[in-house]
Structure 1
């Protein structure tokens, strides 16, 4: 069973469903969340070195686990399991593998009660954000989604208390996630509890007989304006833009490599025919020498440009502390660090992650470098295709002309 091919089809199918159904209320449970869960599941699965079949099970379950929101929001786990079963049945998967996937999806229903390791992996991947730095952002999106579904604003303090209750009732099931995420999860819980305590204290003060005078610092309207100003920059949109653009560049690069491969394969066949058959007959057919040479040159030139389009260009692979300090090195491209030691690279990455300008600058440079490489590839490919197209026409005309002249 070619699980990799089925996963590619499955990923495309799920993305198409998200695009076709497109519910604006799903601010949290959208394709972005699903992709993150899949990424988390892959990370955990790689740690446990699962077999190809088990890896496919947890990945497929992660893709389908929230798809049911479009069809039955109240019972989305069962709906998603049904959608997964129908899709996998069409692909000819065995009943045993399909049932494993269905059970993994159903195990994500709250409260989570996974039984097997595969179910534990999917459950931990689904709530991975509780023990990560992205918790605050994800929690805000979840509250906005809840407000969208109930069509009313939800009290932040009440939402915070419900989230604290979730933290206290939840626990990671795999030993890997317990070791990796419990520390950050405890920090997130402590911060929630501190905010809840502050909210209770502020509530007591506001109900006293002498309420505080509103100033720019404690005026809720001013605070709201400040928060709005801080959130004017669409960070999530920027990250999505970088991810989509980088993915598009990668697909275009793959397409260019495939086109070059077609040219190289086609001309290799033509060259093999010329060298093995046609050259031996030139002694008896001297009028074919010039057309044969034309065809031979055309094939060689086409292959050269096709090979140049795919030939990798690797930089020196070293950066200096000055490059990091001046933010002029792109640490997202392996060619800039493959000769550096791990501590040096790790130090540079940490500095980049701590500096917003450096981080976004590196992403911009990475996209620009991908675009430059793509431009070179397609420019050389265009030359190769033009040489092949016009050259084949010229070669055929040369063969026809030579044959006609001989018969005259």
Structure 2
């Protein structure tokens, strides 16, 4: 079976797949998008005059690249690549060609980082619309799809701010698309920035108007002496009106103070470790070798060695870091149990899961303030443990040093050479 015949089988298979799989939320990543990607990939491939075999590899990857959305939304590239592998193995395609198809599909994962010409062509075909007049329409579909999938409510201002950042960071990988589409992409970026600036201004004016209206109403109530009369009965309502700026200042100052105290503790521990290291080095290098001559100093020397070693151990324990597992589940996010403000709770999670959690937290004020509260509490717990160990280390060093000096004096005075 030649490459052209096999490509026709791929096309028929993917068409049937989209006909038998449907998700109302996928208003952008649907069969229409796949057809357009294949169309653009064909045009770019013709420009580079690919041979028939490379042409097949590229278009097979283009047909399969978004089929994974109907299998899983978590890692659709892997799902699509596995689906392609399964079908192509049935067609007895050589393993090395299957690897090339899968690699091209994986290259479309954001952020894109293609390494071969075929991967660069597919990546550019996938985001071809960024430099065309169809950008605005497709951007609206992307927003609707994203909100439906993640159960969010990003308004047009929030979404288009993200779109501006994406356009700024994106670059086409082939010379063909750079020459053909960069100018159109820059035009779309400038128009989108202008709209975002306009919407931001309107929103700021709306907020300012509402604040002014609220202040005027409050002033009228005060003039009519209504506020003093309902002050006590109005307290339950005021619980809902939190002093946002004051709360944020409180969290910021508390976090800064905790960080300052933590730095002070680390510096104190570092001083203690350094001093005792010098003491241990001096005793081991100078005194131990002479104990056979001064047997009366064995006990005082042992005391100061033990004291320095214990002080160092507790000082090290005070500064030794500990890490949580670094994972969380979506159930933790939905139940607001996880604190995403501390890296130890997410450093092993994929970016998509962390972004989902942060989006949910930023949309929910109670979740956000709860996370800030847990973060402050956790910092306090760590500080308490650190200072407790540090206090033990200093007590051992202080009282142990006193005992050791007294032991040296007694040994020298009563048991020294006469």
TM-score, normalised by the number of residues in structure 1: 0.51
Aligned residue runs from structure 1 range 356-395, under 5 A: none
Write the distance in 2 (CA, Å) between the matches of 1:62 and 1:47.
17
> Corresponding residue for 1:63?
63
2:61 counterpart of 1:48: no
Task: Mark the structure with the bigger radius of gyration.
Answer: 2
Write the distance in 2 (CA, Å) between the matches of 1:167 and 1:209.
33
> Corresponding residue for 1:88?
88
Write the distance in 2 (CA, Å) between the matches of 1:207 and 1:88.
57
- 1:186-229 deviations in whole A, cap 9, x for unaligned? 000001111111112112222234899xxxxxxxxxxxxxxxxx
> Corresponding residue for 1:192?
192
> Corresponding residue for 2:126?
126
> Corresponding residue for 1:73?
73
Contact 1:205 1:211 in 2 (8 A): no
- With over 3 angstroms needed to count, the CA separation of the structure-2 counterparts of 1:209 and 1:123, relative to structure 1, is closer
The Cα of 1:101 is off from its aligned counterpart by 0.7
Contact 1:131 1:184 in 2 (8 A): yes
The Cα of 1:152 is off from its aligned counterpart by 4.2
- 1:74-118 deviations in whole A, cap 9, x for unaligned? 100111111111111111111111111110000000000000000
Q: Relative to structure 2, which stretch is displaced further, 196-205 or 99-108?
A: 196-205
Write the distance in 2 (CA, Å) between the matches of 1:16 and 1:36.
17
2:125 counterpart of 1:143: no
> Corresponding residue for 1:100?
100
Write the distance in 2 (CA, Å) between the matches of 1:93 and 1:210.
66
Write the distance in 2 (CA, Å) between the matches of 1:170 and 1:127.
9
- With over 3 angstroms needed to count, the CA separation of the structure-2 counterparts of 1:83 and 1:209, relative to structure 1, is closer
Q: What secondary structure does 1:96 align onto? A: helix
Q: What secondary structure does 1:201 align onto? A: helix
Write the distance in 2 (CA, Å) between the matches of 1:13 and 1:42.
19
> Corresponding residue for 1:112?
112
Aligned-pair Cα RMSD in Å? 1.7
Aligned residue runs from structure 1 range 341-360, under 5 A: none
- With over 3 angstroms needed to count, the CA separation of the structure-2 counterparts of 1:86 and 1:196, relative to structure 1, is same
Write the distance in 2 (CA, Å) between the matches of 1:92 and 1:209.
68
Write the distance in 1 (CA, Å) between the matches of 2:203 and 2:103.
45
Write the distance in 1 (CA, Å) between the matches of 2:189 and 2:209.
33
- 1:139-160 deviations in whole A, cap 9, x for unaligned? 1111111122123432111100
